[in-house]
A and B are shown apart, each in its own frame.
Chain A
Amino acid sequence: VGREVFSGHLDLLLLSALAGEPRHGWGVIEHVRRRSGGRFDYPEGTIYPALHRLEEERLLRSRWSSVDGRRRRVYELTQRGHRALAGRRQEWHEFALGITAVIEQT
């Protein structure tokens, strides 16, 4: 999947990746890679500005955590983030249904 398509849905992917459990940036990237079967081609570094932005929008909160003696910034969804995720999932499903209905009729 191309970079433009990916970046258009980056926030939804990040929120979804953090819905199950708190993760640090590398953990989020690995989770997306595993779940997507490596379908996305994107510069991994761009997720960090996005994580910061989502935190400033109070959809995420973060803290430093020590993993095997190494400091990692761990992100988790806030209540507001959970609500935003539910709304965006719904939007995505409706969008996907609409697109599918159109492209499969031809």
Chain B
Amino acid sequence: MTTEDFLAELAVSLRGPRRHRKRLINEIAAHIDDAIRAELAITAPRVEAERVVLHRLGCADRIARHWNSDRRITRGRRRRRLAAIALAVVVAGALGVTQYAAGKPQLPRQDPPARTRARSAFSPSPTARAEAIVKMWRANLRSGALVDPKRHFPNPSRSTLTSRLGLAAGRFHFTVVKVEVLHPRQAAPVVVIHAKDKHALANSTGAILHLIDPKARTNDDRTGWAYEGFLFEARDSHGVPFLATFNWWRGPHAGGGQWASDPSLLPFPHG
């Protein structure tokens, strides 16, 4: 058997994504190449070196059985993980944390007013709340990308986003701390800004989002968005988050939400 025969036999026996199979074949071809070079140093004829190397490598069928068995296990794990994410999304929706409905952002699950509630030792800090929101938002983006990968969004470029942000920053008096663009399928920007006047920023949030996370006019609040997801977080002069809005538009559980460290800072009507 020659190297080509061996690799061809292996290629037809492998299961799983083409990209992964191709990588395995390339790695084993490189292995054979290295092993033959090493073997030639002690075994003169190349044919004999190739025979020894292929013998040590084992039969293609055996390698394929190991590979295919691992693929089955991996696929099972991925399905269970997807099911867990979907369940988390459904539970989040059922708790009313973040759904948009009837064309208006309802969203808010907000902290009770600070005056009426003694902050317990277990109350999450604003930073922890903001981190939890980012985590939840990312999970929703991931699950949306898995279940609804074909939906297409206009996806404005990063430079477009940057220039829109510059315009908004000048108009509404904030500074940009961070811009990160995730790519669950297409772009999903995370914009973190810093503002001195919390209430002014909260009052302007709708107008800011109108500029940087635009939506075409449709009769449905869930369609017409430029990005598949968007997260906007505002921090005070100490770098502590005080407001966040977020959305994700792929999949059956598309939605969004708002959060503020104080109910008077929530940018959208709620209740």
Contacts and interface: CB of A to CB of B under 8 A. Distances in A.
Contact of B63 (A29, A45, A71, A73): A45
A51 to B, nearest CB: 8
B57 A26 contact: no
A80 to B, nearest CB: 15
Contact of B30 (A24, A45, A46, A53): A24
B26 A26 contact: no
With most chain B CB atoms within 10 A of its CB, the pick from A25, A49, A53 is A49
A50 B24 CA distance: 11
Interface in B2-45: 20, 23-24, 26-28, 30-31, 33-35, 38
Interface residues of A, number: 20
A57 B69 CA distance: 15
B27 A25 contact: yes
A30 to B, nearest CB: 8
A72 B28 CA distance: 10
Contacts of A49: 24, 63, 66-67, 70
A43 interface: yes
A4 to B, nearest CB: 13
A25 B26 CA distance: 11
Interface string A45-83: 110111011001000000000000011110000000000
Interface string B57-86: 111101100110010011000000000000
A52 B70 contact: yes
Interface residues of B, number: 24
B56 interface: yes
B30 A71 contact: yes
SS of A interface (majority): helix
Contacts of A48: 24, 27-28, 31, 63, 67
Which are the 9 A-B pairs with shortest beta-carbon distances?
Answer: A43-B58, A45-B63, A49-B67, A26-B34, A49-B66, A45-B57, A53-B70, A45-B58, A26-B31
A24 B29 CA distance: 12
A25 B28 CA distance: 8
A73 B70 contact: no
A73 B31 CA distance: 10
Given A26-B34, A73-B23, A46 B70 contact: no
Interface string A19-46: 0000011100110000000000011111
A71 B70 contact: no
